[in-house]
Each structure stands twice: as C-alpha cells, then as structure tokens.
C-alpha cells in the first residue's frame, strides 16, 4: 500500500494538507484569546494600546482610561473595526506607537478582518490559512533536497507537531513568518539553479522584504539564506546575487532606520524582556530552545516527568536513525537548512548580547526555524530502512500526542482564561455592579470582550500612572452596589484598589482564582470589620 501511495505523490500531499487543515480548524476556537492575540486585533483595526497616556488621541482610536466606567462593548471595541473603518495609514500609526514588530502582518490582518470579521475564529483563521499554504512548500523543499520519502515525512511532522499546531492557531504573525521563510528558501534553491534568474530573483526579493516587514527576527533567517548563497556554488552570477541582496536591503532600509527609536520608546509592557527569569542559566535556556522544536508539550510548557519520557522517545528515535546514512544531510545543497536553523537559533543569543535582554528564555523567538528543524528530522528518518523507519515515525507521533490532547482539553492559553472569567463575572454581577479590570490595555479589552455588552467596566492600568487612590476608586464605584475586581496580566503593577475596597466594602466570599486570573467580589456600603 505504501509503495502504491508513493506512486501517487499528489494524492499524498493533498491528504496530508487536509489532515493538517482539519486538525487546525478543530483547534481554532477551543480557547479564548489571550493578551497578544487581543493586541493583534487592536493593531489590525487601527487602535493603539501601548502608548504613554499623554500621547493618546481618542479621535484616532487610541486607548484611554475614562474617569467613569464604560459599557464592556466600548472597551471591547478596541478589538473591532470602527465605523468608518480605519485606513492602512492609521494601522501603521498604531503599530509605530504600540508595537516593536513591523506592520505587514497587521496590514494583512486588516484586510482579512474587513472581509471576514473580527471573531476569535476569524483572527486565528488567517494563521491557519498561512500554515496550510506552508504544506506544499515544505513538501517541495524536502523532495528537492532528499526525495519523496523525506517530503512525506516532513509534511506529516509539520501537520502533527504540537508546536506547529499551536502557532498555526495563534492570532500572531508566526505562521505568516513560516510561510515567507519557506517561500524564500524555496526560491533560494531555485536561484541557485537558475541561469536567467531575474524572475526568480524578483520573487526572492519580494518574499524577503515581506519577511523583514513581518518580524524583525526574520533577519536571522535571511542571514542563513544569504550565507548559503554566498558559499554555495550556483549557476547565476555572484554579482547578480550580491546585487540582489544589496538592493533588497536598500528597499528595507526606510523602515529599519526607525527601529532603534522604536525599540527604545516607552510602552506599557516595555522592559519585560529585561527581567531575568528565576533560575536562569543561559546555556540551559538555549538547549531548551532547541528542544522546543520537538517537545511533546509544544508551547504548553513542561509536564514534569513527561519531559523525561519525551527525551526517551527522541533518544530511541535518534538511536534508530543512527543506522541510516546521516552523512547525506551534510551535502552542499542541504546546508541551506542548517544555515536557516542556525540563524534562527543564534538570533536570540545575538539580540540578548546587544540589548541585554532574555529572549533566549522565550521559545517563540526561535519559531522561524521550526520548518527547517522538522524537514531535517524528516530527512534523518527518511534515511532509514523500512521497519526502523516505521518504528521511528511511530515513536515521534506518539510522543506528540499528549501535547495535542492537552491543547484540545484546555479552555485557555498562557494562563489567561478570559472566556471562563467572563462567564464567572457575568454570574457574580448581580444588581448594580461594576467591573474593574486591573491589567494592561489588551487585557482590559480582552476581558471586556467576554462580558455582557452593557456591563459597566473600568480600566485600571497601573503602568500609565493615571489612577489615584482614593479619588478614582470613589468615582469608579459611586452608585454601584457590587464591585468585581479582575486582576489579569498586570505585569507586577500593584493592585492598590484591593486595600481601598477592603476598607470601604465587604468581601462577598473568597477570591476566585482561575490560573493567573484573580476575581474579587465586594459589596459596597458594608465596611468590613
């Protein structure tokens, strides 16, 4: 049966692509949005969230803290299109004010959400579409470098990898970055073979420019591809290749000239990468980055003993794979994958050295290298004979099942269960109630998204230094019988509201904790003893 399938590669590719698509569509709405995804919607709809309070212009959709509570639908409106719809120029303005990433993903998402809406599923469906388009490129690259068996395995691994599934259903730019990195890699291989390379070169330049305007760490992918073009023999003249790279850099220069000032600008969440994680050891963090490509839990963190089972699976798989002809992986044409992967893995190290940050502790900053890692894994396994190959593939797929199962079972991402928080708050809000959300702006808008539309909500963003106790607490709670304080994604800003409420109201029951969300309920005009 396997041999018959190998004679029908188009059917296999279609089948694997459908498998990947079905898995991702099933996962697309399992969890509520979290802060970064809410931020994506805000940028794509032209709403700046992360600016200093003095820079806010409400007429241009900037986030502001009102002196009185506002209906939840108004705060959730930062995650929807205005009427009239914001222009692309306003989207770029919001990105410059709020984000440290380039604007292309948000502009693409702007068009996508105009067509299909701003629901949770619609936001993530753009990433699903990008990851689905990755499948034929992964297939083609793997087949070009090592044949049909490697193409099948690389496509299968990308379809089933928990890390791939997670970020294929994340409302961020990572799936788009994969697509552009794969397209640039595919065109690099074509450029290496072409004699008349003008058309291929134009496509390569377009993909690279798009990647550089999607995420700054795409530059490390480009470094790997550029190094491959420089050291590898190819038919096109070297002067053409150098000219192509130079002209592409010049075209990217206008945006990148503003990068230093953008990175140094104050934002609500600025500085979080400069805080040393507890127990941080640089070399161990880097090893964890490599491991993250194959970990059974994907982006869901460590499961204690499951980590050792995962290492055992990988160890057995590599032991079996060692029986293959691994030296074939180091042939000149295949160096492109190693250079792509090396650029992705060394990028955070270089960035940390220059910026004195800890990006090496955050696995998503090496996501650009995931397709290269999975293709290399497929090429290792493809070098095996039949039964060792079947065993190895079975072990890898079995190792990944727990991570996918956990994704399916969970209602939230990154310890931010905002949808279930909304359900709880909607039940607790009896009589005349007001909700105070102590968070960053995307957290305020995100929690409000899951509340009843008419629910009065007050934003309390400590980093903006606008709120004062007792003045603001008196103004925000006046006329309400019950106050519900929700603390989520506060980034260590102290919830000084709690002390005031303890002195001027009576706590109704114990605080509720849902992962990293705390919910306090107070009845007013009943001071506690």
C-alpha distance from residue 3 to each of 11, 12, 79, 186, 388 (Å): 13, 12, 50, 27, 17
Does residue 322 register a pLDDT over 70?
Answer: no
Taking all residues of the chain, what is their mean pLDDT, rounded to a whole number? 89
- Of 235-249, 282-296, 312-326, 503-517, the poorest mean pLDDT is in 312-326
% of the chain beyond a pLDDT of 90 = 63
The per-residue pLDDT for range 225-280, each reduced to its tens digit, is 988 888 876 666 777 778 888 899 999 999 999 988 888 888 999 888 888 888 88
The per-residue pLDDT for range 437-473, each reduced to its tens digit, is 999 999 999 999 999 999 999 999 999 999 999 999 9
More confident residue, 124 or 307: 124
More confident residue, 403 or 24: 24
**Count of alpha carbons within 13 Å of 173, Cβ hemisphere only?**
31
What token pair was written down for 374?
Answer: 């999975």
CB contact at 8 A, 213 and 103: yes
E strand intervals along 331-490: 433-438, 456-460, 482-487
**Count of alpha carbons within 13 Å of 208, Cβ hemisphere only?**
28
Predicted local confidence at residue 41, as pLDDT: 98
Does residue 49 register a pLDDT over 50?
Answer: yes
Predicted local confidence at residue 388, as pLDDT: 81
* Mean pLDDT value of segment 35-48: 97
DSSP assignment of 199-233? HHHHHHHHHHHHHHTT-TTHHHHHHHHHHHHHHS-
Question: CA–CA separation, 293 vs 370, rounded Å?
Answer: 6
% of the chain beyond a pLDDT of 70 = 90
For residue 437, report the phi and psi dihedrals to the nearest 5 degrees.
Answer: -105, 110
Residue 529's pLDDT band, with cuts at 50, 70 and 90, is: very low
């Amino acid at each position: 049966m396997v041999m018959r399938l190998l004679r029908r590669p188009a059917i296999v590719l279609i089948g694997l692509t459908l498998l990947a698509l079905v898995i991702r569509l099933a996962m697309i709405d399992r969890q509520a949005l979290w802060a970064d995804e809410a931020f994506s919607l805000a940028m794509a709809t032209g709403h700046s969230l992360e600016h200093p309070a003095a820079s806010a212009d409400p007429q241009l959709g900037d986030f502001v803290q009102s002196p009185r509570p506002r209906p939840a639908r108004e705060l959730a409106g930062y995650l929807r299109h205005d009427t009239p719809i914001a222009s692309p120029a306003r989207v770029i303005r919001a990105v410059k004010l709020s984000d440290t990433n380039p604007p292309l993903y948000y502009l693409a998402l702007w068009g996508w959400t105009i067509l299909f809406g701003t629901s949770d599923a619609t936001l993530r469906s753009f990433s699903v579409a990008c990851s689905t388009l990755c499948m034929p490129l992964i297939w083609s690259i793997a087949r070009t470098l090592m044949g049909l068996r490697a193409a099948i395995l690389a496509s299968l691994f990308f379809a089933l990898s928990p890390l791939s599934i997670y970020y294929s259903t994340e409302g961020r730019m990572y799936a788009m970055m994969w697509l552009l990195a794969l397209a640039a890699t595919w065109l690099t291989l074509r450029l290496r073979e072409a004699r008349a390379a003008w058309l291929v070169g134009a496509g390569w330049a377009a993909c690279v420019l798009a990647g550089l305007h999607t995420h700054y760490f795409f530059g490390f992918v480009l470094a790997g591809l550029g190094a491959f073009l420089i050291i590898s023999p190819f038919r096109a003249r070297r002067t053409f290749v150098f000219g192509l790279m130079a002209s592409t850099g010049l075209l990217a220069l206008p945006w990148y000239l503003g990068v230093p000032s953008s990175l140094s600008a104050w934002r609500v969440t600025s500085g979080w990468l400069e805080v040393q994680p507890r127990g941080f050891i640089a070399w161990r963090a880097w090893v964890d980055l490599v491991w993250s490509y194959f970990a059974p839990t994907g982006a869901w963190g460590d499961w204690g003993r499951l980590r050792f089972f995962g290492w055992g699976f990988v160890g057995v798989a590599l032991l079996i794979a060692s029986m293959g002809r691994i030296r074939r992986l180091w042939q000149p044409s295949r160096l492109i994958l190693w250079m792509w992967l090396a650029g992705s893995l060394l990028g955070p190290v270089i960035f940390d050295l220059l910026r004195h940050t800890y990006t090496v502790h955050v696995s998503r900053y090496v996501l650009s290298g995931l397709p290269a890692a999975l293709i290399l894994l497929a090429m290792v396994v493809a070098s095996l004979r039949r039964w060792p190959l079947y065993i190895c593939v079975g072990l890898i797929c079995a190792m990944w099942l727990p991570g996918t199962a956990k994704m399916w079972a969970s209602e939230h991402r990154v310890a931010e269960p905002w949808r279930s928080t909304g359900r709880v708050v909607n039940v607790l809000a009896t009589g005349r109630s007001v909700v105070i959300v102590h968070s960053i702006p995307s957290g305020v808008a995100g929690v409000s998204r899951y509340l009843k539309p008419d629910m009065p909500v007050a934003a309390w963003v400590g980093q903006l230094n606008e709120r004062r106790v007792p003045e603001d607490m008196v103004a925000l709670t006046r006329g309400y019988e019950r106050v519900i304080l929700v603390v989520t994604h506060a980034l260590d800003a102290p919830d000084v509201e709690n002390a005031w409420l303890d002195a001027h109201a009576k706590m109704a029951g114990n605080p509720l904790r849902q992962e990293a969300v705390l919910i306090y309920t107070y009845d007013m005009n009943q001071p506690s003893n």
